């Protein structure tokens, strides 16, 4: 009775798991909650990358010890390479190549084979497909030690998976998929049952065979056993997203892609696809802000990881980014129209009020005149503001085209140099200063002379030929426009807060009336 009761309980437990797996659905509230969590995690991705970089640095420090024994050096090379292979693929491949050379020179053939398998696995990420195939084909399964057979078939499976994702030709991709599944079929019996890697490969195999229910049950069991900082967690969640896609469950697909992306971010894994797929789904849902954020992070991951394969794939998503930008620009334009309409209504109200006051009390003519003058000044402000918006929208479109051309031409390094040099920012700052100087002096044409009248004769400002305003005068100009907060002035002029403080103090020391200098500047009248 005891044995039968135990069997019955086990069957009921399996039935319960199966029922939970099949019946569980992802609601809109679940999707909103997981996407909110993903947004929070992505904000902290810099911290996770810093932590992983620190770990990598410590591993590399071990390799710098020249007196390290060969066995210890090879072990350190393999560990560091494995820790780098989803963070900086080129660096990982260099470590694997070094390990292969050291092991070969030392006559450690099985260790050299392990490094060769690692190289063959990840070479497709750098588009060196032929080299990867040659290296993998040079290793005959019959000559692989029994202790390395699982690694051999896992490496072959992963290499074929990467190649299948690279080939635009469906026939070539399918042939790679066949080879991948053959390797996985050989791999699964070599893995210890119940281990995470066994469950992952079993779940993927069931998915390929079309057993969606079995695959989902197996992968859910794996996810339940793993922490989300385990790289296998991200892979399992991505497969669950593929199952949801096969079933037409969009909410489920988004949910599991978000879980996969969270795991990738927390592991500081850069060689990923979940975030890219999720960004495209968000765009399809008209969530432009998230689509832009996710795709931008995915592209940065691909560039930082030096994975040509992912850069190529992510570049295909660039139209989504461009569309997202265009949608945002359109939304900004509509908001601008609304502001203009509101200000137009305000001008009308002010004019009506002015006429009403004028007819009721002639003594308020002076006030009404100043109000009309203020309205005229506002019109100038509006015109200059619209001109500035037009200039920067044009610059944004030009920069977007440059980005598209560079990425389409595979010149990501050029794009990186362009943004890193700061030249673009300096050029835009120069153009901003020109527009600002013209607009301000149009409203306050005598500003320079009136400021100099407030300064001691030997400390007055002398402008260079062709110069309309300099940094000193721009600080005072912003103060005259009502922007007195030092931090805001620093942001607008691209200086540090300390520098702006220094400029303001120097002005006071040069003024005729030090205590009232800034208040005197505020009294300078417009034209």
pLDDT, one tens digit per residue, over 437-488 is: 887 888 888 888 888 898 988 888 888 888 888 888 888 888 888 888 888 8
106 vs 112: CA distance, rounded Å: 9
pLDDT for the residue numbered 308: 52
Please give the DSSP secondary-structure letter assigned to residue 364. Answer: G
pTM recorded for the entire structure: 0.57
pLDDT for the residue numbered 368: 61
What is the Cα Rg of the chain in Å?
A: 33
- The answer to whether 269 and 258 are in contact (CB under 8 A) is no
Q: How far is CA 13 from CA 50, 59, 254, 426, in A?
A: 43, 45, 29, 66
Best CA proximity match to 470, nearest among 493, 486, 453: 493
Which residues in 345-384 are b (16+ Cβ under 10 Å) and which e? Answer: eeeeebeeebeebeeeeeeeeeebeebeeeeeeeeeeeeb
Best CA proximity match to 279, nearest among 299, 302, 304: 299
> C-alpha dihedral over 418, 423, 427, 428, to 10 degrees?
60
Among all chains, which residue has been given the structure tokens 């398998």? 117
pLDDT at 19 over 50: no
pLDDT in tens, 383-394: 666 566 666 667
- The answer to whether 192 and 198 are in contact (CB under 8 A) is yes
234 vs 239: CA distance, rounded Å: 9
pLDDT for the residue numbered 212: 93
Q: How far is CA 201 from CA 112, 113, 215, 268, 325, in A?
A: 26, 23, 10, 23, 40
Q: What is the mean pLDDT of residues 76-98?
A: 86
Q: Residue 400: CB partners within 8 Å, gap ≥ 6?
A: 322, 325
HEC profile of 465-513: CCCCCCHHHHHHHHHHCCCCCHHHHHHHHCCCHHHHHHHHHHHHHHECC
Among all chains, which residue has been given the structure tokens 């079929």? 185
pLDDT at 426 over 80: no
Long-range contacts of 313-317 (CB under 8 A, 24+ apart): 313/165, 313/273, 313/276, 314/276, 315/407, 315/408, 317/276, 317/279, 317/280
pLDDT for the residue numbered 12: 42
- The answer to whether 450 and 428 are in contact (CB under 8 A) is no
- The answer to whether 123 and 135 are in contact (CB under 8 A) is yes
Angle of helix 471-480 relative to helix 486-493, nearest 10 degrees?
A: 130
Q: How far is CA 168 from CA 163, 165, 171, 234, 337, in A?
A: 10, 8, 9, 25, 45
pLDDT for the residue numbered 168: 61
17 vs 213: CA distance, rounded Å: 11
Q: What is the mean pLDDT of residues 10-22?
A: 44
Please give the DSSP secondary-structure letter assigned to residue 463. Answer: P
334 vs 403: CA distance, rounded Å: 26
Phi first, then psi, for residue 410 (nearest 5°) are 70, 25
Q: Where are the alpha helices (DSSP H) in 108-169?
A: 109-122, 129-137, 149-166
Best CA proximity match to 183, nearest among 206, 160, 204, 200: 160
Strand ranges in 135-275 using DSSP code E only, listed in sequence order: none
pLDDT in tens, 359-406: 777 766 766 665 666 566 656 666 666 566 666 667 767 777 777 777
Best CA proximity match to 308, nearest among 187, 413, 381: 413
């Amino acid at each position: 009775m005891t044995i039968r009761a135990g069997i019955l309980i086990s069957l009921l437990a399996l039935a319960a798991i199966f029922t939970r797996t099949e019946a569980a659905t992802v609601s809109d509230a679940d999707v909103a909650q997981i996407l909110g969590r993903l947004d929070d995690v992505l904000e902290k991705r810099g911290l996770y990358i810093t932590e992983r970089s620190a770990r990598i640095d410590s591993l590399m420090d071990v390799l710098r010890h020249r007196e390290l024994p060969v066995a210890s050096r090879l072990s350190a090379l393999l560990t560091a390479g494995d820790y780098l292979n989803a963070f900086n693929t080129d660096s990982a491949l260099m470590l694997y190549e070094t390990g292969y050379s050291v092991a070969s020179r030392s006559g450690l053939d099985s260790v050299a084979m392990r490094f060769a398998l690692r190289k063959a696995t990840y070479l497709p990420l750098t588009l060196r497909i032929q080299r990867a195939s040659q290296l993998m084909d040079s290793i005959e399964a019959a000559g692989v030690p029994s202790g390395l057979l699982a690694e051999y078939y896992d490496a072959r499976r992963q290499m074929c998976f990467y190649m299948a994702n690279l080939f635009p030709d469906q026939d070539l991709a399918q042939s790679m998929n066949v080879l991948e599944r053959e390797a996985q079929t050989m791999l699964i019996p070599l893995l210890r049952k119940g281990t995470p890697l066994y469950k992952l490969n079993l779940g993927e195999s069931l998915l390929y065979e079309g057993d969606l229910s079995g695959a989902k049950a197996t992968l859910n069991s794996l996810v339940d056993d793993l922490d989300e900082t385990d790289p296998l967690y991200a892979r399992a969640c991505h497969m669950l997203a593929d199952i949801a896609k096969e079933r037409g469950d969009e909410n489920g697909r988004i949910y599991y892609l978000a879980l996969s992306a969270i795991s990738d971010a927390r592991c500081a894994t850069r060689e990923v696809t979940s975030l890219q797929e999720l960004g495209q789904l968000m765009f399809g849902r008209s969530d432009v802000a998230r689509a832009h954020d996710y795709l931008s992070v995915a592209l940065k991951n691909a560039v930082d990881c030096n994975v040509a394969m992912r850069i190529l794939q992510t570049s295909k998503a660039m139209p989504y980014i461009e569309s997202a930008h265009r949608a945002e620009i359109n939304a900004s334009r509509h908001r601008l129209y609304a502001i203009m309409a509101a200000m137009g209504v305000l001008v009308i109200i002010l004019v009506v009020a002015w006429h009403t006051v004028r007819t009721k009390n002639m003594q308020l003519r002076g006030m009404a005149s100043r109000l009309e003058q203020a309205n005229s000044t506002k019109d100038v402000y509006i015109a200059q503001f619209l001109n500035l918006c037009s200039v920067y929208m044009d610059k944004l479109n030009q920069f977007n085209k440059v980005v598209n051309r560079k990425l389409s031409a595979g010149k990501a390094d050029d794009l990186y140099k362009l943004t890193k040099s700061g030249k673009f920012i300096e050029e835009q700052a120069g153009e901003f200063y020109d527009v600002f100087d013209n607009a301000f002096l149009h409203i306050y044409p005598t500003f320079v002379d009136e400021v100099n009248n407030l300064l001691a004769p030997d400390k007055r400002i002398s402008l260079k030929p062709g110069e309309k305003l300099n940094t000193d005068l721009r600080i005072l100009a912003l103060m005259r426009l009502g922007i007195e907060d030092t931090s805001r002035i620093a942001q607008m002029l691209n200086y540090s807060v300390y520098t702006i403080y220094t400029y303001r103090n120097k002005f006071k020391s040069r003024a005729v009336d030090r205590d009232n200098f800034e208040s005197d500047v505020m009294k300078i009248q417009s034209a």
